[in-house]
Structure 1
Amino acid sequence: MPSFGTQIVLGLALGLLLGFLARAMGPTADGDPNWLTETLSTIGGSFVDLLRAIVPPLVLLAIVSSIANLRNVTNAARLAGQTLLWFAITALISVAIGITLGLVLRPGENTSVDPEFAADPSRSGSWVDFLLGLIPTNFLGLGGSAPEGGGEIGVSFNVLQLVVIAIVVGLAALKVGKQAEPFLTFASSALSVVQKVLWWIIRLAPLGTLGLIGRAVATYGWDLIPSLGMFSLAVYVGLALVLFVVYPVILRTNGLRPMQYFRGAWPAIQLAFVSRSSIGTLPVTQRVTERNLGVPRSYASFAVPLASTTKMDGCAAIYPAIAAIFVAQFYGIDLTITDYLLIAFVSVVGSAATAGLTGAVVMLTLTLSTLGLPLAGVGLLIAVDSILDMGRTAVNVAGQALVPTVVAKREGILDLETYNAASSKNLFLEDDRDQNHDAEVAQEIAAHDAQRHRGEDAERPREDVTSR
């Protein structure tokens, strides 16, 4: 039987063929989508709905359990700090690439888009959204939120609020002490059940890929690119540079082989490309980060959900930088050094500020309003947004798996044996191996911290942990 990654590729190829066939068939006599387009939409949409349905309990239980697993570890705060630091570092590099491409390729001057398409967006982002996104509206964080990447695949819950709720509950359980042990045991058992259901859903990913890419081709095609060809080229060149140059350099600098990372993370990157939803891909991202890349579950179950809400190098760094420069050039507005620094600031910090309303369009409006550029410029770019969104989301997810891997390596808790043997075939091994591995890693982390506090050399224990 073909590996999971091969099944995804086969689903992608078949989806492309069926998508072009559906597009060639055209709409019905009433102007509605034909039966093949409807079928592809139903298959793809149903798969994403299944993934989204499992996200709330997965995030809530995983973070509560991860906090419980790290309750005896003194460097948990350091792990969180290093995670946020690497979020900022990769975002800063990404936005620098976006600004450079915008200045070199000058997409706003090399376009044939009609100015009549300029229109204010239906939604926009502001710095107040950060505070609003942190405050839960109810215990499960239910409530509408904007689609990821500005596309039409959204979520009906606020993942940032779920993260906040889970952290508060986990910390409260630790403060309660022994009386909370039954609750933590229940959370761990419930997480195992949810994960088993999740693996069944993930096995449907090849079929979901077929439906999602087929629907995208049948619905959008590639007819809209010519008028914004230079802008589309600039965005995809930027995405490619981050994914295939910046990320490998970061991995190599930290002593990790880039090819192994791509082998392990590729199932999540592929699914993100066709689904256009990093939230929908979250369960797969967390799975490959733990199972294929060797990041301990106790850390990954905290870092990956956090990354899915605040770590978006594609939507929150590259795209808004190039798009803001496009709008300025289109309207003949000269940007100053201060403006470029503001673009960088918004890209590094703004993804957290709009985490409750994640999406490239929201990030773009936040950038434009901060720079004082006309928001009507957003309407000029909507025509190709769905096509660009696929690449943006793929880079988002790639970064969301990369940072926990790099931090785990730097902190000496990465299972190098698992990382160096990364393969999508590992995705469906029995969970017992994960549980045993996490217990071993927790013991090693505790021993590492104990030696550090005794004033012994911290580097030797770190090497001992990672080299096993």
Structure 2
Amino acid sequence: MSTASAAPARKKASFPFWAQVLAGLAAGVLLGWLARTFDVAWLKELLNTVGTIFVQLLRVIVVPLVLTALIVSITQLRHVANAAKLAVQTLAWFAITAFISVLIGIGLGVLTNPGASASIGTEGARAVATQGTWLDFIKGLVPVNFLGLEASSRFNADAATVATSLNFNVLQLVVLGIALGAAALAVGEKANPFIEVAGSLLAVFQKLVWWVILLAPIGTAALIGRAVATYGWDLIAPLGIFTLDVYLGCAIVMFGLYPLLLKMHGLSVRRWFSGAWESITLAFVTRSSIGTLPVTQSNTINKLGVPQSYASFAVPLGATTKMDGCAAIYPALAAITVAQLFDIPLGLQHYVLIAFVAVVGSAATAGLTGAIVMLTLTLSTLGLPLEGVGLLLAIDPILDMARTATNVAGQSLIPTIVAKRNGILDEDVYNGRRTPDADDVRLAAAHA
């Protein structure tokens, strides 16, 4: 027998999913540049259409995915020793990292004065329609119906028609999911069929999301291409310092704060980035923590070694409430920028309020693309003009990519740290020394 025939067959080199997404990003930048530079109308329309369809596919699954994920995550706590302790520690670390992140945002804003250097006028500024106040935030916690659906109508004067659309309040879905999960735990054995159905539905919805996520390289090219073709440097330049501050703040948190916390807990920074990178890159292009949820949870369990029973609680909760990018760094920098644009001085009490809103009100962002509600909540708390939000909207999609990537990074970091602190982290899996057990393999197969 020849040596060649006896040698085991080599696996074909695979093209990692994160590399596919980055390739789509590069292709999108090129297509967007071509569409903008040469004013190719059909290419702009194609990028817009494909990008819109991709986002719509993700959004359509959000309601059942969030609801079933939270129900299952709460009921999973019955299998976890010291569940209450883990839950408290998770929320505490959410708050700690949010507080440090907002301090980083405030520090950058004070040092660079992004509003003072902005070449943009405030004469035509208008307040956005979507606003947030503490009263709205509190009322928003109470579901108006079972799925948190809200109807809105818009009158088209040119066509003399009224268009009605249904939207959903993710914050209300969070409350519903937690309440249903807690009720199932309280009922006991009689709720087992309900819990099994919720688990089955979650598996189905996760499968649907994975199918959509397989289209991410194409969606990435379209979304990035649309952003480049639509916005370009012309709109970014007037707020260039502010844009750089947001990206720098997110980079400091992701590549400075998070690695420091990992080192403090004796964990390899390289291994964590290797395990979380797929979800981080997907979040960057989709701009949705919830849309990235299945990838984040799978990576946290299968690559970082967090037990499934705990990760099933912590990661979905983080996807709806853990927002270091959208709820800490960005509102701090945006508030300082708006104040400087309108020549309103900020004192120590204002910075304290910014930090308070970031830590307490982060759930207002609710894992959706954009952070307008959180920003208006911050501005209204400080008494700053809400018209300032309109001045920042033009470049919001560009900023939201870095913000969401930071959010998702934190959503896998905190469960990893808490698991390590409580001695339940599988460090062999974390360090790549063995494959996950049978339960983890079944979860990984959900997207196969």
TM range (shorter): 0.7 to 0.9
Deviation, 1:58, is: 2.7
Count of matched residue pairs: 419
Aligned equivalent of 2:123, options 113, 116, 119? 116
The superposition leaves residues 22-56 of structure 1 with CA deviations (integer Å, 9 ceiling, x where unpaired) of: 223316xxxxxx22222222322222222223333
Aligned equivalent of 2:86, options 65, 68, 79? 79
Deviation, 1:430, is: 11
Aligned equivalent of 2:287, options 271, 276, 287? 276
AA aligned to 2:236 is I
Aligned equivalent of 1:104, options 98, 111, 114? 111
Distance 1:360 1:61, change over 3 A: closer
Structure 2: distance between partners of 1:126 and 1:431: 47
* Correspondence 1:361 to 2:372: yes
Q: How does 1:435-454 map to 2 (within 5 A)?
A: none
Structure 2: distance between partners of 1:377 and 1:110: 15
Structure 1: distance between partners of 2:408 and 2:147: 24
Structure 2: distance between partners of 1:363 and 1:333: 20
AA aligned to 2:138 is L
Structure 2: distance between partners of 1:198 and 1:237: 31
2:311 maps to 300
Contact kept in structure 2, 1:129 and 1:356, CA below 8 Å: no
Contact kept in structure 1, 2:275 and 2:299, CA below 8 Å: yes
2:59 maps to 52
The superposition leaves residues 358-398 of structure 1 with CA deviations (integer Å, 9 ceiling, x where unpaired) of: 84222222222212222222233233222222211211221
2:207 maps to 196
AA aligned to 1:11 is G
SS, match of residue 26 in structure 1: coil
Structure 1: distance between partners of 2:78 and 2:61: 26
Distance 1:201 1:353, change over 3 A: closer
Q: How does 1:200-219 map to 2 (within 5 A)?
A: 200-219=211-230
* Correspondence 1:132 to 2:145: no
Deviation, 1:344, is: 0.9
* Correspondence 1:15 to 2:28: yes
Aligned equivalent of 2:38, options 4, 25, 43? 25
Deviation, 1:434, is: 4.0
Deviation, 1:357, is: 8.4
Contact kept in structure 2, 1:309 and 1:358, CA below 8 Å: no
Distance 1:305 1:156, change over 3 A: farther
Structure 2: distance between partners of 1:290 and 1:159: 24
Contact kept in structure 1, 2:280 and 2:408, CA below 8 Å: yes
Contact kept in structure 2, 1:128 and 1:353, CA below 8 Å: no
Unmatched runs of 5 consecutive residues or more in structure 2:
1-13, 153-164
Distance 1:234 1:311, change over 3 A: same
Deviation, 1:229, is: 1.7
Distance 1:226 1:158, change over 3 A: same
* Correspondence 1:343 to 2:350: no
AA aligned to 1:112 is S
Structure 2: distance between partners of 1:203 and 1:356: 21
Deviation, 1:104, is: 1.0
Aligned equivalent of 1:316, options 316, 327, 331? 327
Contact kept in structure 1, 2:304 and 2:429, CA below 8 Å: yes
AA aligned to 2:119 is S
Deviation, 1:105, is: 0.8
SS, match of residue 234 in structure 2: coil
Contact kept in structure 1, 2:73 and 2:316, CA below 8 Å: no
Q: Sequence identity of aligned pairs in percent?
A: 61
Contact kept in structure 1, 2:66 and 2:173, CA below 8 Å: yes
AA aligned to 1:126 is T
AA aligned to 2:414 is V
SS, match of residue 100 in structure 2: helix
The superposition leaves residues 396-454 of structure 1 with CA deviations (integer Å, 9 ceiling, x where unpaired) of: 2211222122112212222222222299xx9xx998544599xxxxxxxxxxxxxxxxx
Structure 2: distance between partners of 1:194 and 1:328: 43
1:93 maps to 100
The superposition leaves residues 6-30 of structure 1 with CA deviations (integer Å, 9 ceiling, x where unpaired) of: 2112111112112212223316xxx
Unmatched runs of 5 consecutive residues or more in structure 1:
28-33, 146-153, 438-468
The alignment's C-alpha RMSD in Å is: 2.8
Deviation, 1:203, is: 2.1
SS, match of residue 143 in structure 1: strand
1:3 maps to 16
Distance 1:417 1:49, change over 3 A: farther
Structure 1: distance between partners of 2:302 and 2:168: 27
Distance 1:9 1:355, change over 3 A: closer
AA aligned to 2:186 is K
* Correspondence 1:409 to 2:409: no
Aligned equivalent of 1:67, options 67, 74, 80? 74
AA aligned to 1:202 is I
Deviation, 1:126, is: 0.9
List structure 1 runs of 4+ shifted beyond 6 angstroms.
none
Please report the TM-score for the alignment, with normalisation by the length of structure 1: 0.82
Contact kept in structure 2, 1:14 and 1:210, CA below 8 Å: yes
